[in-house]
Every structure is written in C-alpha cells, then in structure tokens.
Amino acid sequence: MPTIRVPASSANLGPGFDVLGMAIDRYMEVDFAEEGVGSEDHLAVRVFRQFGGTGGLKITSTIPPARGMGFSGSARVAGLAAAAVQKGMTVDECRRWLFLEATELEGHPDNVAPSVFGGVTVAVGDRVEKIPIGLQANVVLWVPDTLSGTKESRGKLPKQVSLEDAVFNMGHTALLIAALTNGDTELLSDAAQDRLHQAVRLESLPDTAAAIAAMQANGAWCAWLSGSGPTAAALCEPAHAERLAAALPDGGEVSIGHIDMRGVVYE
C-alpha cells in the first residue's frame, strides 16, 4: 500500500525568523489501517478526523517532538494529506491547500512550507516560494534529549527591536538566499548570522550554543539554531560531514542527512 511521507523541517536558518525553512530527510509516515490502529491522541490523527477522515491511521516517525524540527507542522500536513487522499485527491493537486490549511492550524508558515513543498522555502502569509539551491550539501544535526516549547521560547523574545538589528536581519536573509541560490559557500557563514532571536534563545541552551560553535569551528559552511531549539543544524561539504559530526560535543544525537527536495508525497 502507498504511504504518505512528510519531511521534518528546520525553520529560521539564522536570520530568516518566521520566514525561511528547510525540509530535512527525517520523516513522518502515515498508512491507512483498520479502525483502532494508532492513537487517537496523535496530532496527525486529530487533524485527519477534523477534516473528515475515517478509519485508522498507522503512524511512524523519526521526527522527535519539541526539538525544533517541525514535528507539529509535519503532523498537521500528514493528517491533512491523509484526509485529502482518502477523498480521492492527489497530493500534487492539493499541495497549496495543504499549505494554507496547515499554516492556519500551525499559526505560522515557516515549518509548514518546507514540509509541503520540500527544499528551502520563503513563506510570508499565504505566499510561498521555493528557493533554487546551487550546491550539494549534507545537513548535520545535533539533537539533545532536552525539550523546547515554541510558545515558551517565543515568549522570551523582545517585543521591539532596533532599526539597526532589523536591517541587519533583512540584509542577511537576502544574503543567505543569494548564497544558497548561487552556491556561494564562502558567503554562507556570514549570511547565516542573526540578531533577532538566536542569542536570546541560546542563553537557556548553553549546550546547543556549544554545538553550534563546534560546527562553525570544524568545517560547517553555516550553522544555526533549528527552529526554537534545542537542535543545532549545519550545512557542510559532503566530504567533510563525518569529520564535522565527530567533532560535536556529547549530550546530543548526531546525524548526517540531506535537504529533502520533494516535500510531502504519497507513494
């Protein structure tokens, strides 16, 4: 039987707060099953029911919840996709609907967009664009056991920022998009700098800050706090990925993966 597969995501990518997102090759997979298979409390199942889904769903996932890897966004996309497929639609013909409905449920589009469309996305309101990527890269993740709630993390951020910091982030977001599109790996490290959210969040995540520093010191093109954390993520030359992974501190699961370019699929 075909399976619905939804990738994880890493949001912000440094300066692109609430706007940029990257799909990562960890997945939530959903199969249609007999009634009673799987927990009705799972977010994907609740969304499936909300949109008229009937019968059971079997869900497996390698996306850890509350780690800054878009678990809730992936679950909502998965539940919506299951409801749409059950009604006879294909994922491709309802992809924009999946994005709009999942964004409404999630409250922001930065995680939802890459899980739906794949690749690296720019999402603003109901608009989303997929960025052409001009490089081959590995994604290295450092995932600790500690949890981080997005709502709690956002509550620590200042309500106002200086004009200088706002301009800094706008400029570096533009630089980051240009560097990814042009394959300019030398620009990536500077382009991924941020002044709006990472420093505040990392104050309470010293181990994650150490992991990001280790990534930057050991060959990463760029490194950032994934979503609201506590996961740290980096892009690097594939030939250097094993060396980079070996240099990361204890206290977190280390994995080497790729950017998922497809987004949600049913196959």
pTM (two decimals): 0.94
Is residue 147 over pLDDT 90? Answer: no
Q: What is the mean pLDDT of residues 121-145?
A: 96
Is residue 148 over pLDDT 80? Answer: no
Is residue 200 over pLDDT 80? Answer: yes
Residue 180: CATH number of its domain: 3.30.70.890
Residue 27, CB half-sphere, CA atoms under 13 Å: how many?
A: 20
Q: What is the mean pLDDT of residues 50-60?
A: 95
Q: Are residues 165 and 98 both part of a single domain?
A: no
Residue ranges making up the domain that contains 13: 4-130+261-266
For the chain, the residue count is 267
Residue 76: CATH number of its domain: 3.30.230.10
Q: Are residues 124 and 144 both part of a single domain?
A: no
Q: Are residues 122 and 151 both part of a single domain?
A: no
pLDDT of residue 151: 61
pLDDT of residue 2: 87
